Amino acid sequence: MSSKTVTRLTRILAMLPWVIAHPGVTVGEVCDRFGYTRKQLLGDLDLVFVCGLPGYGPGDLMVAYVEDDEVIVDTADYFAGAPRLSPAESVALLASGLAVLGSGGGSDALERAVDKLSRSLLPDEPDLLTVDLNEAGPQFTQLLTDAASDGRVVEIVYTSLSRNDTTTRQIEPWVVFTSLGNWYVSAWCRRAIAERVFRIDRIRAAQATGERFDPPKQLPPPEVRYVPDDDDITCVIELYPPARWVTEYYPVSIVSRSEDSTVIEFSTSDASVAAGLLLRLGGSAALLEGAEVAEALSGLRRAVLERYGER
């Protein structure tokens, strides 16, 4: 799940209980309290409108709309208060929280919540339940986790699939985390002189150098994202409504946004990556700038036509 999706979901889950508890609130009040624009609020209400409990009949789906500048949310009583968890659900929730903390993706708020839940479920032995994901990770996961904890520089031999090259780098590991079944380490790369996120199963060799470093006081969120290099290829793409999902799935920069389209800046080390995306999107997107991507796209189109005999 991208950071944009997480931010949107968090905002919706904060907004709904407040609106339910304050019937009659106006669009302006909701926008001021939760940092919405009117367009964003209407979009989130449209999304909420198709959500509900299994069964998904008229009495199971939420009703969310704006009428005479009043925000109305109905048939969503299950959002009005915190759910009562069964013992099994409570333990599963605690284990999930411990797993996130163990992967390095937790926050201070999550750590406090896990501590309270542990003391509530296991008052006599709050440390009885432990979750250690590092043992399930690929080679070098524990080494990198320890180095991040101790502030030690690590030298790695890394193979980049996007460039198909192998390089030796010295990195300052910040956080080891897992996402969608893969393990990553976010770090300061001394070779790139910038932050980088490395997939651990692509590290061919690793060893601690013995040198120490001081991590930044404010670390970026541990998430998989693409950090452009100076020699990367950049193109500008216009996305029409059916292709707006690209802004949620790929790490792109928004150039402009309107009701009819969204213009993005897309960076990649390989022009064929952007060309493949454009070919997939078809008429839902248009390339505005990027000569190398345009050339790669033409080549892909010719290859497709030749394969199907449509010369």
Is the separation of the CB atoms in 100 and 175 below 8 Å?
no
Predicted local distance difference test score (pLDDT) of residue 153? 96
**Residues facing residue 268 across a β-bridge:** 233
Q: What is the CATH number of domain 3-79?
A: 1.10.10
User: Candidates 3.40.50, 1.10.287, 3.30.70, 1.20.120; correct CATH number of 233-307?
Assistant: 3.30.70
For residue 9, give the amino acid letter: L
Q: Which of 21, 8, 5 minimizes the C-alpha distance to 82?
A: 21
Q: Which long-range contacts (CB under 8 A, 24 or more apart) does 277-282 make?
A: 277/246, 277/250, 278/237, 279/304, 281/239, 281/243, 281/246
pLDDT at position 232, please? 79
Confidence bin at 257 (pLDDT 50/70/90):
confident
- What is the average pLDDT value for the chain, to the nearest integer? 81
- Lowest mean pLDDT of 70-74, 93-97, 168-172, 240-244, name the range: 93-97
In this structure, of 80-84, 207-211, 261-265, 283-287, the range with the lowest mean pLDDT score is 80-84
- Among 43-47, 87-91, 282-286, whose mean pLDDT is lowest? 87-91
Its pTM stands at: 0.48
Residue type, position 172, single letter: E
pLDDT band at 172 (very low <50, low <70, confident <90, very high): very high
Measured CA to CA, the distance from residue 256 to residue 249 in angstroms comes to 17
Q: What are the beta bridge partners of residue 173?
A: 187
Contacts of 289 (CB under 8 A, 6+ apart): 235, 236
Q: What is the pLDDT of residue 213?
A: 94
pLDDT surpasses 60 at 109? yes
Distance CA 153, CA 172 (A): 5
Three-state SS at 145: helix
Average confidence (pLDDT) over 111-130: 75
Q: Decide if pLDDT at 265 tops 60.
A: yes
Which tops the pLDDT comparison, 227 or 301?
Answer: 301
Question: What is the per-residue pLDDT across 208-245, written as a single tens digit (0 to 9) for each?
Answer: 998 999 988 888 777 766 666 667 788 999 999 889 88
Predicted confidence (pLDDT) at residue 2 exceeds the cutoff of 60: no
Tokens of 17: 């209980």
What is the SS3 assignment for 81?
coil
The percentage of residues in the chain with a pLDDT greater than 90, rounded to a whole number, is 23
Residues belonging to the chain: 311
Q: Give the pLDDT score at 226.
A: 63
Which 3 state secondary structure label does DSSP give 261? coil
For the purposes of burial, counting CB atoms within 10 Å of the CB of 67, is it exposed (0-12), middle (13-18) or buried (19 or more)?
exposed
CA 14 – CA 11 distance, rounded (Å): 5
Integer Cα distance of 294 and 275 in angstroms: 7
How far apart (Å, rounded) are the C-alpha atoms in residues 46 and 43?
5
Query: DSSP class of residue 223?
Result: -
Tokens found for residue 39: 């367009």
**CATH class belonging to 134-212:** mainly beta
pLDDT at 48: 82
Residue ranges covered by each domain of the chain: 3-79, 87-121, 134-212, 233-307
Q: Report helix, strand or coil for 103.
A: coil
Q: At what angle are helices 108-121 and 87-102 packed, to 10 degrees?
A: 140
Question: pLDDT tens for residues 16-57?
Answer: 888 888 889 999 999 999 888 888 898 888 888 767 666 555
Residue 133 CA: distances (Å) to CA of 98, 101, 102, 197, 241: 9, 10, 6, 19, 40
What pLDDT, in 10s, does the model give residues 127-158? Answer: 666 666 555 568 898 899 889 988 999 999 99
The per-residue pLDDT for 288 is 95
Q: Is the alpha carbon torsion for 183, 187, 189, 190 positive or negative?
A: negative
Burial of 257 (0-12, 13-18, 19+ CB in 10 A): middle
